[in-house]
Amino acid sequence: MEKVKRLDYVDVCKWLGISLVIFGHIKMPGEVLQWIYAFHMPLFFVLSGYTYRAQRIDKEFLMKKIKTIYVPFLLFALIFCRGEMSSWAYIAYGSRNALDMAGTYTVLWFLPCFFAAVLVFSLLMNIGNRSKHKVWILAAGVAVMLVGAKACEMLKGGQPMIAKYGYPLNFDMALVGAVFMVAGYYFRQMIDWINTQRQWLLIVTVVALFAVTGFTAFMNLPESLNPACAHVEMSVGAFGNWGLFFANALLMSMALIGLSVLVDKWVIRKNLLLFIGQNSLTILCVHGTILLAASKVLPKMGLVGVDDMSLMLQGIVSYVIVIAVSIPAILLIKRFVPNLVGK
């Protein structure tokens, strides 16, 4: 299979995305978390659709996705779980609830969800690419996926077993993720067009999108969400107002992609940013352990305040620790246990 050249600005955007994931798992002011959770996980689905290229769904395709997404999920989940036999079954089931029951990191929910979303999205794109009415087929597919996701939400409310265990591979959220992938596919065309115009148009677009979402992200108030969540959280389907959820996630994703294009143009030395972006999936899997260790270190550094400024400072220091520890961890994993990262 021909190797596709990476887009540096997409890796820059992945760096921004994984940075927000890390900050989202640190004790931060509520307003900051509400803003981050409004879009940070949908961004990764959008970027996947953004970089999509036509390919057949065959044995080679399936094996590649299993090797690069599902196998790393299984291995990391097993490493961090309690080690009980029952944990294996919960991990294989792959839902966020099941991962919690397995005693492993629930942040790993994203990987089986992403795996299922990629398959759904790729199937839809294959059908669309074979038709003269691709736009209509994709639009119909999006409608079906949204109805399916809503039906899953309603069914979960009436079925105790589903409410307890969730859907296999977080399939309900995979349908939502596939919708974001379709959006990302069209975002590529929009960004490419804006990028061919004068640079000021891209700057104005990014500033306008940040201004709009900086306001609308706080319209989806916590009281409109699942009582168990104080903010939007895709992993448990706490969307609040669905219209606001999708609008915020899509507009902010577009803003961050545009910002990444500008960073790629303006920043000359960005090797560290690219490295982090290229290895964002590994950082997603290991940052929980590093943050746990960092939480023990911060008090010894005198960082114990609970006011907003102290929390922000602690967050920044924790982020630096995560990145500093992740880099050698990534290099060691690639050298000695490449299967952990799908190599």
pLDDT value of position 231: 86
Amino acid at 150: K
Whether residue 163 is predicted with pLDDT greater than 90 in this model: the reply is: no
Of residues 195 and 78, more confidence is placed in: 78
pLDDT value of position 1: 40
pTM here is: 0.94
What are 291-313's pLDDT values in tens digits?
Answer: 999 989 998 888 888 888 989 99
- 105-119, 192-206, 265-279: range with lowest mean pLDDT: 192-206
Q: What is the mean pLDDT of the chain?
A: 91
Whether residue 158 is predicted with pLDDT greater than 90 in this model: the reply is: no
Amino acid at 282: T
